[in-house]
Structure 1
Amino acid sequence: MTNSYYAPQGGHPGQEQLLTDRAVFTEAYAVIPRGTMRDIVTSFLPFWDATRLWVIARPMSGFAETFSHYIMEVQPGGGSDRPETDARAEAVLFVVEGEATLTVEGQTHKLKPGGYAYLPPSGNWALRNRGDGALRFHWIRKAYQAVEGLDTPDVLILNENDITPTPMPGTEGKWATTRFVDPSDLRHDMHVTVVTFEPGAVIPFLETHVMEHGLYVLEGKAAYRLNTDWVEVEAGDYMWLRAFCPQACYAGGPGRFRYLLYKDVNRHMTL
């Protein structure tokens, strides 16, 4: 089945539109609907040409603690030869529209929709849009937590279309995860995966766990339980869930429900 990826286009709603929307910000979770990702809320970064971005998560009190999450929009000819200014930052890139030319450690790669790159801290990388249309991709950043005796992870260049999703046990493949990193590889302190639910599939219990989550809906729609509330989400929406926020979902259809998922893993709790 061909994978579909929603990407924000910006623009601005007309004056005839009601301002009521589904945006929610609480101590336990946040929902940032796709309708909020307009021109007026974009940001810019040093050393990036012909590029704007939506910042949908950042470390701050009462919000994301371990990561930042950008949706990048790069016009033809744009990009950066000095994309990252923090030597501690590791990154995952995930392309949803267009084609990225990524150069890392002297090797050049083409990332098309579904393309994934893991970039370790202190890496030497650059990214350009050599195509004719806009390039849109997710950029998830985290300060890498080094552990004595563990090497830094290697660069990974993959595409989700080349990976067979791993079904959750007992679900007959109705709930599956596309993994880019071996879960047993303890060098990694974050996982970014794609989670897929077939119509009618559910998370049949309230997950309550230590991992912080960021979820960007790539495709479809669902009813999501966040803490004590049910919210409706669709392609282009973003959810942030703090550690231990109860969570579950029901994918009502008619098509698949898919999201890009961040979580922090494999490290002792800071005391």
Structure 2
Amino acid sequence: MTRSYYAPHGGHPPQTDLLTGRAVFTEAYAVIPKGVMRDIVTSLLPFWEGTRAWVIARPLSGFAETFSQYIMEVAPGGGSERPEPDPEAEGVLFVVEGEMGLTLEGARHVMKPGGYAYLPPGARWALRNEAAAPVRFHWVRKAYEQVGGIPAPEAFVTSDDAVRPVAMPGTEGKWATTRFADPDDIRHDMHVNIVTLEPGAVIPFAETHVMEHGLYVLEGKAVYRLNTDWVEVEAGDFMWLRAFCPQACYAGGPGRFRYLLYKDVNRHVKLKSPFAR
């Protein structure tokens, strides 16, 4: 199966472009379209060389509460020997363009488009772009919620091609999820999966649930229900959905609609808000 992963390249629009765009920020959801991921909104990170990042989600009252998500761009020769400053943070890397070398717990891995790595809290890892072109990848970070008597998951590296999608019941395979972590493994407190809908497939009800979501469209286009609105999205767009935000989808074709999906899972609800004073 041929796979496609959209990656931003930055740049800057000409003065002749219209200002009107598709960006939306509400109390229930946000849409960051691919057209706003320009050079002037990138960030540099400590201890990363030859690297810039588009920060598309971060913990913020009224916005994402459980995770952050970056799109990283590392130039040839760039990378980091001290990538993660927070010893309590876990992470997922997902490559969308280029190639990079990941050293994880002493083992070296060459990661290409579709490559996936889970990084538990306190993991020893380093990353270097040893290729001739930039590498672009997603880095999802979350403060791991430790539970007494349950160890943190171990690190692992896999890929989109190596994991078989699981079809949703009653959909004849038209709606499927690529689950990189075992959904029954209670050690994991977040899942970063890939959802695939074939042309014309639907999420046929307004999902309304406690899990917060980050959705980055890897391929295709769709009409997405976000709270009370129907919004057109395409490859390169990012959506944030607050907990309990109603959501549904029609895949718009002519090709598959695929997105990288973050959600928090497998933990008791905190009874005190982290933003309470």
TM-score of the pair, normalised by structure 1: 0.99
- Measured in 1, the distance between the counterparts of 2:99 and 2:150 equals 34
Which runs of 5 or more residues in structure 2 are unaligned? 272-277
Q: Which residue of structure 2 lines up, in the alignment, with residue 71 of structure 1?
A: 71
Matched position secondary structure for 2:176:
strand
Cα displacement (A) at 1:123? 1.0
- Measured in 2, the distance between the counterparts of 1:32 and 1:191 equals 21
Q: Which residue of structure 2 lines up, in the alignment, with residue 132 of structure 1?
A: 132
- Measured in 2, the distance between the counterparts of 1:141 and 1:163 equals 22
Q: Which amino acid is the alignment partner of residue 23 of structure 1?
A: A
**1:36-75 counterparts in 2 under 5 A?**
36-75=36-75
Cα displacement (A) at 1:244? 0.2
**1:211-250 counterparts in 2 under 5 A?**
211-250=211-250
Structural RMSD (CA): 0.4
Which runs of 4 or more aligned residues in structure 1 lie more than 4 Å from their structure 2 counterparts after TM superposition?
A: none
**Any idea what the Cα deviations from partners look like across 1:181-205, whole Å, max 9, x if unmatched?**
1000000000000000000000000
Matched position secondary structure for 2:205:
coil
Cα displacement (A) at 1:212? 0.1
Tell me the number of residue pairs that the alignment of Structure 1 and Structure 2 aligns. 271
Q: Which amino acid is the alignment partner of residue 78 of structure 1?
A: G
Identity among equivalent positions (%) equals 75
**1:91-170 counterparts in 2 under 5 A?**
91-170=91-170
Which runs of 5 or more residues in structure 1 are unaligned? none
- Measured in 1, the distance between the counterparts of 2:208 and 2:199 equals 24
Q: Which residue of structure 2 lines up, in the alignment, with residue 259 of structure 1?
A: 259
Matched position secondary structure for 1:205:
strand
Matched position secondary structure for 1:4:
coil
Q: Which residue of structure 2 lines up, in the alignment, with residue 3 of structure 1?
A: 3
Q: Does 1:208 align with 2:188?
A: no
Cα displacement (A) at 1:232? 0.3
Q: Which residue of structure 1 lines up, in the alignment, with residue 196 of structure 2?
A: 196
Cα displacement (A) at 1:125? 0.5
Matched position secondary structure for 1:206:
strand
- Measured in 1, the distance between the counterparts of 2:154 and 2:13 equals 43
Q: Which residue of structure 1 lines up, in the alignment, with residue 24 of structure 2?
A: 24
Cα displacement (A) at 1:252? 1.4
- Measured in 2, the distance between the counterparts of 1:9 and 1:100 equals 17
Matched position secondary structure for 2:118:
strand
- Measured in 2, the distance between the counterparts of 1:123 and 1:177 equals 27
Cα displacement (A) at 1:105? 1.1
- Measured in 1, the distance between the counterparts of 2:154 and 2:121 equals 10
